[in-house]
Amino acid sequence: MRFGFGLPALKASYPGVDAHYLRMPHVEKGMTVGLFGGSFNPPHGGHALVAEIALRRLKLDQLWWMVTPGNPLKDQRELAPLAERLKQSEAVAGDPRIKVTALEAAFHVRYTADTLALIRQANPGVHFVWVMGADNLATFHHWQRWREIARNFPIAVIDRPGSTLAGLSSRMAQTFSDSRLDERYAPVLARRTPPAWTFIHGPRSSLSSSALRKGKLKK
């Protein structure tokens, strides 16, 4: 796939970002890959726990930890440099199956729906599943073209402290209630025809990026 900007221009826009982060991770046809995106500002053990649960319960070959250059729904003034968040994500991830990437910077897109469409186009024959915490499920209906995402990608929601009720009563959960799978079917979710989603219970971490930025919690 060709991107709108060459690597030199991208590196100039994101100083300190190694070129390999601006390339799409390598996959083979038939693989099952989780897509876990966010600002990760900063990344922490709670994010790592979500990734670990997704790898195990969804039986993933890889999980792409996609560090976004910016989030349209969040205050950009508090956003640490992309290079810093990538470095911190590598330190937190701790599993060789997790591929930290800034591919959204290479796509030069703002919205998850566009990113996911480009990823699918570039990787025919790969089974992708969108992974997110229950806190994001509660606000998913605010995302640009959220119905399009749900209709085109299986979604795995990982439980987060204080978010279970809000997530399961969210607009997305209600809209696609008939498409929810029992979590015992999580290992085959990525190969199901969307819309298809599941809510996965398990260990939870109370760590929060916003609290860490405010110095209320330690990593």
Q: What is the CATH number of the domain that holds 209?
A: 3.40.50.620
Question: Count of domains in the chain?
Answer: 1
Tell me which residue range forms the domain holding 88. Answer: 7-213
Q: What percent of the chain has pLDDT over 70?
A: 84
- Where does the pLDDT of residue 72 fall: very low under 50, low under 70, confident under 90, or very high at 90 and above? low
Q: What's the average model confidence in pLDDT over 81-87?
A: 97
pLDDT at residue 204, as a whole number: 54
For residue 2, tell me if it sits in a domain: no
Count of CB atoms situated within 10 Å of the CB of 21: 24
For residue 163, tell me if it sits in a domain: yes
| Rg (alpha carbons) of the chain, rounded to whole number | 16
For residue 219, tell me if it sits in a domain: no
- Where does the pLDDT of residue 208 fall: very low under 50, low under 70, confident under 90, or very high at 90 and above? low
Q: What letters, b where the CB count within 10 A reaches 16 and e where it falls short, cover 68-99? A: bbeeeeeeeeebeebbebbbbbeebbeeeebb
pLDDT at residue 108, as a whole number: 84
- Give the C-alpha separation, 99 to 24, whole Å: 9
pLDDT at residue 65, as a whole number: 99
- Give the C-alpha separation, 108 to 4, whole Å: 7
Q: What percent of the chain has pLDDT over 90?
A: 76
For residue 218, tell me if it sits in a domain: no
Q: What's the average model confidence in pLDDT over 84-96?
A: 96
pLDDT in tens, 111-163: 999 999 999 999 999 999 999 999 999 999 999 999 999 999 999 999 988 88
Q: Which helix (H) or strand (E) holds 119?
A: helix 112-122
For residue 1, tell me if it sits in a domain: no
Residues 100, 43 contacting (CB under 8 angstroms): no
- Give the C-alpha separation, 84 to 52, whole Å: 22
Q: Which two tokens mark 218?
A: 């330690």
pLDDT in tens, 10-58: 555 788 899 999 999 999 999 999 999 999 999 999 999 999 999 999 9
